[in-house]
Structure 1
Amino acid sequence: MPFAFYDLETTGRSAAFDHPLQFAAIHTDDDFNVLETVNLRCRLSPHVLPSPGALAVTGVSLDQITDPALPNWFEMMGEIRGIIERWSPSTWTGFNSLRFDDPMMRQSFFQTLQPQIYAMQFDGNTRLDVLPIMYAVHVLKPECFTWPLNGDGRLSFKLEDLAAANGFEDHIAHDALGDVRATIHLLDQVRARAPAVYTQFLQNRDKQHVHDLLRSGHPVQLIERFGGPPRSVIGVGCGFDANYASRGIVLDLARIDPRDLAAASVEDLVRLIGQSPKVVKPVKTNATPAVFALDDADPMIADRAAYVSSNVELQDRMGRAMAQHYAETYPPPGPDEEIKVENRIYDGFYSPADKDHLLRFQSCGTWEARVTLLDGFEDDRLHQLAIRMLFLERPDLLSEHMRSTASANLLARWTDDDAPKNGWSTFTSVEAELQEKETSGDLDALQVAELREFYADRRRRLEAIAAAG
C-alpha cells in the first residue's frame, strides 16, 4: 500500500481550539519513492488567538499568517479532503501524529463542515506513527540506531534530534515539509536496520490483526513511554472495554498473578485499573499500537497467560471494569453544564441526509449560496458550526444582531480566565506566554511588542462589533 507522510504546523497545541496553518504531505509508493508532494498554507482564522509559543517555534510572521492572498481555513481543509480522496487508499504516516496531528485533523474536518471527519481512516486508509516505532526500536533493537541526548543529558525523541543523529542532513525543523522528509528518512532507516519491528508495525495497521493477537492468549510485549526511556510490558490480552470494543486490555503478568483476581469483583478491578504502578494497560486496537507477540516467554509468564486465556469470565469482568473506569474518569457533563461545540465532535455520526447537505454546502461555491443552506441541517452541531463559519468568513451576510451576538460570545471566550487546561488561548494566557518567551529569549523585545499590539488590535475590533448590537 502507498504511504502518505504528512505534518502540520498549527496555531497552538489544542486540537479542539487551535487549527492548522500549514499542511505538508508526500505521497510515496511502498518503497518510499515520491509520487506527489503538496505544501499548503492558510491564513489565521478570526476566532483563534495564536499561541506565541507556536509562532516562535515555527518562525512564521504575523504578515504570513494574516496574508489575505492565502486561502482561509475552510478552503484549505476542503483541498486536503480532496487530496485524501485522490490518494486513497494509503497509510497516513506522521511523527507523533496519532497524539497530535490526527486529532487536529479530525477537529478541523469537523469544524469546517467536511462530510467525513475520519477521512484518514476510511476508504481503505490506515494510520502509522513513527514516534512509537522509534520507542519500540529503542527497546528491541537499540544497537541499530544512534540515540541522541538533549541538553540535560537525557534521551531525546524529538524528530529533529533523531533524524540528525541518524544521517538526515539539512533538516528544516518545524516546517511541515521539512518534518515530513525527516519522518520518511527515519521510517526508511527502521525498515533497513530493524526490519522485524517495521514489519510488525505494518501488520498492526490492521485493527483485526491486533484484536486477534490480544484474543490469542499468547504472551505479548507492549512498548510504552511515560517521560523516561521507553519500557516493555510483558503481558497478555485480558478482554476488551465493554463500552468501546476498540480498547483492548493487557494485563502485566510480570507484576501480578492473574489467579489473585479469581474472586475480584468489578469494583475491585476498577480500583486495580486506577492504581499506580499500572498493571492493567488499555490498548487502542485501531491506532497501530506497539504490541508484539512474545515467542520466548519464560514458563511463569506462559503459565499466567494460559490462565487468563482460559478464563473468559475474568476477561468479561475486566471489560466491564475498564468501561466503568473510563465512565468515572471522564463523567458526562451535568444537565446545566455548557458544552462547547468543539467538545461535541464525538456526539454521534451524521445522518445520510446531513452528509448530503454537507456536500452541497461544500460544493455550492459561494457564501451567499451557503446562507440559504443554514436551516437544512438536522444535526444542531452542524447548524451552529455553519453559522460560525459564515461569521468568520462573511459576517456581512449575517444580521447585525447575529454579528454582535457572535462577537460578544467570542470576546467572552477570549477574556475567560477560567478557560480549561488545554483549551483555547485567552488574552491572559497569551500575555503570560509572551513574558515567558521574552525571558527565555525565544522572542525578542520587538517581536513581543509586535505581538502585544496584534492581540490588542484583535480585541479592539471585536469589542467594536460586539458593541454595535
Structure 2
Amino acid sequence: MNSINRKDFLVYDLETFDIRSKYTWISQFAARRYDSDLKPIDDGTIFYCKLADDHMPSLDACVLTGITPQLTAEKGLNELEFARSIRTVLLNKKESTIIAGYNNTAFDNQVVNHLLFRNLLPPYEPFIDRSLDCFTVTKAMHYLDKDKLKYLQVARDDGTMRDSLKLEHLSHANGLIHTKAHDALSDVEATAGLLALIKESNYGIYSKYVANCRKANPMQFVQAAAKSSMPIMAITKSALADSSYATIAVIIGGNMNSYYAFDLLSHEEQFTENMEKLMQAQEKDKDEYISLMHGFCHTIKVNECPYVDYADKYYAGKVDADEIKERLQDRISKLDSIRKVGYAYSGNYAGKGNYPSAGEQDATDGRAIKTSVAVEETMLDGFINKEAPELMKVAEQGDKDALLDALKTLKSKGYSLRVQTLFSHMIARNYPELFSEKAISRWREYVKARLMEQKSAFIDDYNRLMNSNLSPEKLEIVKEVAKYEKEIFDKFSLRLF
C-alpha cells in the first residue's frame, strides 16, 4: 500500500529514565490513533514500565518528566509485559497505519528496538516501511517554506538568536494543544497537531515526505542520483553552521540502507581537506576509509524516512543560482575517484561486532549471567531472529511455564552465549522466581557490579542538583529517587551514600 494512502496514523512518544538511546529504560509509553486528516479516533493508550534493579535512573530525566521509579513500580508492568504490550499497540492495523513521532527516528524508535531486542522480541518490525518523523518534515518546512510556521527565538551560545524547533516551542508559537511538555500523551497530541498543520500549510512537502515511509521510494531516488552523479538536497540530522538543516551533497558510497553524502557546500578549505584525506585512505585500510566517510559525510538512511529532493530546490530563486550550480559540478568532478572507491568499500561493508567470547558456559545455572555487562547493547552485532526463533516465540507468548521450560533447555539447544545471556537476563529481571538459588545468587552479583558502575555518576548528579536552583517540588523528586535507589542498594547489601 502506498504510504500516502494509508488510512490512519499512530502517533507515539516515550518518556525514559535516561537519554542514551541504546541503553535507556522506558518509564512511560503513550500512543493515540488518528485518521488520515490527523483527527483523533480514540482516547489514547498509556503504559508505565517498572525499572529493573540493574539500571539506575538519571536524576535529570526524572526531574524533567516528573516520573519516579516509585511511580512506575506502582503503575507499571514488568519489562517483558511492557514490551509485549507496546508491540501489540504498534503492530495493530499494520497494513493501514503509519507510525509517527517527534525525533523518533533518532531516539524513540531506537529505544523501542533495543527494548524489543533485550526481551527477545523482533526489533525493527513495528517500523519497517511505515514510520515517519515529524521533526524531519518540520526541518524541511523550516528551510523550504519557513513562513508557513511560527517559531520562538532562543539564544545561541554566542548570544545571537535562532529559531527553535523544539516541540514545546513550536506548539506554543503555533497555538497547538500541548498541556505538559515531556508528558508522553501530551507530546503525542502536540506532534499530531504539528503534522496536521504542515499538511494544511504545504501539502507538497507533506505528501513527498509521507511517501518516503516506504524505503523503496527514497532508495530509488538516491540510487538514481548516485548513478548519475546528481547533487541532491538532503535534510540533515543536526543543524549546520548557518542553523539550517538543509544542504546539497553527492552520494559517494553506501549499501541497501545507508548512503554517504559528501557535503558540497562546505568551505573550500574544509572540502579540500576532507577530499584529500579520503584519497589518502584509499590506499590504506578499508575500515579507516569507512570511518572517514562516517565522519565527513551526512548519512542518508533510506529505511528511516529521510527527506531528500533535487538540488535545485535548495538554490531555486537565489540570485547566484547559476554560480552555485557551476561550483557544485566542479566539486562533483573532483570527487569522481572517491565515489568509485566509496561504493567498492561500503557496498558490502558490515561493522565489526564487539561482543566478547567467553567460552562454553551454562546460562541455566547463572554462569552466563556474568559474562558480559553489555549483552543488551549488542543488537547491532547480528540478528537473533534466525538463531533463536523458538525462544522469541516463547517471549512473545509470555507464558511463565513455557519460559521456565525454555530456561531449562538453553544449553542443550545449542544457543550462542549471547542468546543464552540475553534470555537469562530477561528472566532474572522479570520472573526471578523461575531461577534456582544458585542462579539468583549469580544474578545478584551481576546486579551489584552494574550498580557500582553507575554509582559515582548518580552521586555526582545528586550533589549537583541538590545544590542547584531547582524548585522545591523538583528537589523533592531528586530526594524521592535517591531514596528509592538507596533501598535498592540496601537490598543488595551495598552502600549508596
**TM band (smaller chain):** 0.7 to 0.9
Per the TM alignment, residue 144 of structure 1 is displaced from its structure 2 partner at its CA by 1.2
Does 2:256 match 1:238? Answer: no
- State which drifts further: 197-206 or 98-107: 197-206
Q: How does 1:60-459 map to 2 (within 5 A)?
A: 60-67=67-74, 70-89=76-95, 90-114=97-121, 116-122=122-128, 125-150=129-154, 153-214=161-222, 215-216=224-225, 217=228, 218-224=230-236, 225-226=238-239, 229-240=243-254, 244-255=255-266, 264=279, 266-267=281-282, 274=292, 280-295=297-312, 298-299=321-322, 302=325, 304-305=328-329, 314-320=338-344, 332=354, 340-352=374-386, 354-363=388-397, 365-366=399-400, 368-374=401-407, 375-376=409-410, 378-416=415-453, 426-442=454-470, 444=472, 445-459=475-489
The answer on 1:6 being equivalent to 2:20 is no
What letter matches 2:180 in structure 1? I
| CA distance, structure 2, for counterparts of residue 413 and residue 113 of structure 1 | 21
Cα distance per residue 1:311-358 (max 9 Å; x no partner): 98653312346689996xx88578799571012112222354722332
What CA distance in whole angstroms lies between the structure 2 residues aligned with 1:339 and 1:61? 24
Q: Single out whichever of 92-101 and 446-455 deviates more from structure 2.
A: 446-455
Q: TM-score, normalised by structure 1?
A: 0.83
Distance between the aligned counterparts of 1:212 and 1:302, measured in 2? 23
Q: Render the CA deviation track for 1:373-427: whole Å, top value 9, x for unaligned.
A: 12246343332122222222332321222111111111112112xxxxxxxxx12
Q: TM-score, normalised by structure 2?
A: 0.79
Is the Cα–Cα contact under 8 Å of residues 56 and 443 in structure 1 kept in the other structure?
no
C-alpha distance in structure 2 between counterparts of 1:227 and 1:220, whole Å: 16
- Aligned mates of 1:275, 1:390 — CA distance in 2: 41
Q: 1:45 aligns with which of 34, 39, 52?
A: 52
Flag the 1:221–1:356 CA change in 2: closer, same or farther, 3 A: same
Shift of 1:51: 1.2
2:261–2:298 CA contact under 8 A, matched in 1: yes
TM-aligned CA distance change 1:274 to 1:360, over 3 Å: closer
What residue identity is the alignment partner of 1:432? D
* Aligned-partner Cα distance in 2 for 1:70–1:342: 21
The 8 Å contact of residues 17 and 26 in structure 2, kept in 1 or not, is answered as yes
The more displaced of 402-411 and 439-448 is: 439-448
Cα distance 1:309–1:363, how it changes in 2: closer, same or farther (>3 A)? farther
SS at match of 1:34: coil
CA distance in 2, matches of 1:408, 1:150: 47
Kept in 2, the 8 Å contact 1:308–1:315? The answer is no
AA at the equivalent of 1:235: A
Contact 1:219 1:301 in 2 (8 A): no
* Aligned counterparts of 1:268 and 1:171: Cα–Cα separation in 2: 57
Q: Which deviates more from structure 2 when the two are superposed, residues 300-309 or residues 285-294?
A: 300-309
In structure 2, what residue type is equivalent to 1:163? S
Unaligned runs of 5+ in 1: 417-425, 465-469
- Which whole-Å deviations, capped at 9, do the CAs of 1:124-183 have from their partners, x for residues lacking one? x42211112222211111111111123664432221111111111452211100000000
- CA gap of 1:230–1:272, structure 2 versus 1, over 3 A, is farther
Tell me the equivalent position of 1:421.
Answer: none
- Percent identity over paired residues: 21
What is aligned with 1:422? none
Q: Which runs of 5+ in 2 are unaligned?
A: 1-5, 316-320, 359-370
1:427–1:455 Cα contact (<8 Å) kept: no
Task: Give the secondary-structure state (helix, strand or coil) at the position aligned to 2:33.
Answer: strand
1:265–1:317 Cα contact (<8 Å) kept = no
Cα distance in structure 2, aligned partners of 1:279 and 1:110 = 30
Moved more, 86-95 or 102-111: 86-95
For 1:29 and 1:404, locate their aligned partners in 2 and report how far apart those are by CA, in whole Å.
Answer: 51
- Comparing 35-44 with 97-106, greater Cα deviation is found at 35-44
CA RMSD of aligned residues (A): 3.4
Which digits, 9 at most, give the CA deviation of each residue in 1:157-212, with x for residues without a partner? 22111111111145221110000000001111111123222122123223222222
Q: Give yes or no for contact 1:12–1:50 (8 Å, CA) kept in 2.
A: yes
User: For the residues of structure 1 that align with 2:10 and 2:406, how far apart are their CA atoms?
Assistant: 34
